[in-house]
Amino acid sequence: MTEIIRSRTPEEGWRAIVRARDRILAGDLVAIPTETVYGLAADATNDPAVARIYAAKGRPSFNPLIVHVAGEGMARRYAEFSPLAEKLASAFWPGPLTLVLPRITDSGVSLLASAGLDTLAVRAPDNHIAQSLIAALDRPLAAPSANRSGSVSPTTAGHVRESLGDRVKLIIDGGPCRVGVESTIVRVDGVRMFLLRPGGVARAEIEHIIGIALETPPTGAIEAPGMLQSHYAPCAPLRLKAMEPEGGEAFLGFGAIAADGPNALNLSSSGDLVEAAANLFAHMRALDALCAERGLSGIAVASIPNADLGDAINDRLQRAAAPRS
Ligand code: TXA
Ligand code: MG
């Protein structure tokens, strides 16, 4: 059963925040209002919780997620701010602008949240429920729009329930979203800025206030979800559907298909796909580092079933294994 808690007054709001905080701390998902659309939120520092977002959305691949923070001060724990990024944040935060910035290594944010990228999308939402929840947690919230993959973004609690059903157990109903379209996404690269997705803040407003032009990303058209150069390609070659390591390979196991020894890790020894997704990027990085350190020839990866999160895991593994130019 899905519970919807109304939160339109401060009294209702407080009760909702306490319930939501407890669920988030327990690694569960909560759908929350933001000024743009409803978000499906989880603790961005908790790998299994982030994996549950992908499972609930039914995403066929791991799109990087937006990490929601209270403001620039909190965002600085997780991402690097150039003077241009600082200018954008002070002009538009809190509000419907997402900044894609270089990620701070070992900041505690799940690698799965940014799908293994070296950048992190951060945004401070302009909604008192979202803000109170982040404050109550003092943790960042990973939250994509609270709908099944491929359907339209929800702007009411009712939409969330229609789309996700009991895949989310708690929805906070803060009324209809004020903006109604997703945030504008801007990637900041030193002194340049690129428009990745048009949204709640108009391009002209950004250009007017900042005084420089928003560029089109180098790949051409707007980087559509799923089309991002978002795959994390390890340096070591990857061999998929392996049964065991061969000729000095590291081994990434799953379930019973596993290897022993110092050069092997298992995505989930119990064969749990949510656990496997949570471990995927961290394990790939760890084995990649081992390959470099110990001169191993590559990483052999056990076969992952094509079901539930297995589709997304395989999508990512195939990209990582694809021949590179
Ligand atoms: O208004 C919004 O932005 C809503 C509310 C809930 O905050 N969220 C939202 O999230 O629209 P989502 O997951 O539906 O869209 C996030 C998009 C991804 O599809 C991806 O294109 C982009 O943000 N993105 C996230 N991290 C990125 C990164 N590191 N580099 C480039 N693009 C990124
Ligand atoms: Mg979406």
Whether 207 contacts 214, CB under 8 Å = yes
Q: Cα(224)–Cα(49) distance, rounded to whole angstroms?
A: 25
> Is residue 141 lining ligand 1, measured as CB closer than 6 Å?
no
Q: What is the pLDDT of residues 24-70, one digit of tens each?
A: 999 999 999 999 999 999 999 999 999 999 999 997 788 899 999 99
Q: 273: buried, middle or exposed (CB in 10 Å: 19+, 13-18, 0-12)?
A: buried
> Helix, strand, or coil here: 129?
helix
Rounded to two decimals, the pTM is 0.85
Ligand nearest to the CA of 230: 1
Q: How far is CA 239 from CA 71, 299, 312, 313, 319, in A?
A: 42, 6, 17, 14, 12
The residue whose C-alpha atom lies closest to atom 12 belonging to ligand 1 is 144
Residue closest to 150 by CA, chosen among 63, 79, 27: 63
Q: Is 182 in the pocket of ligand 1 (CB under 6 A)?
A: yes
Determine whether the shortest distance from the Cβ of 98 to ligand 1 is under 6 A: yes
Residue the block writes with tokens 């709640």: 200
What confidence score (pLDDT) does residue 231 get?
44
Which distant-in-sequence residues (6+ apart) come within 8 Å of 49 by Cβ?
Answer: 24, 27, 28, 29, 42, 43, 142
pLDDT of residue 194: 96
Coil, strand or helix: which one is 109? coil
The segments of the chain whose pLDDT lies below 70 read 219-233, 324-325
Q: Is 266 in the pocket of ligand 1 (CB under 6 A)?
A: no
Strands ordered across the beta sheet of 249-253: 238-239, 298-301, 249-253, 264-266
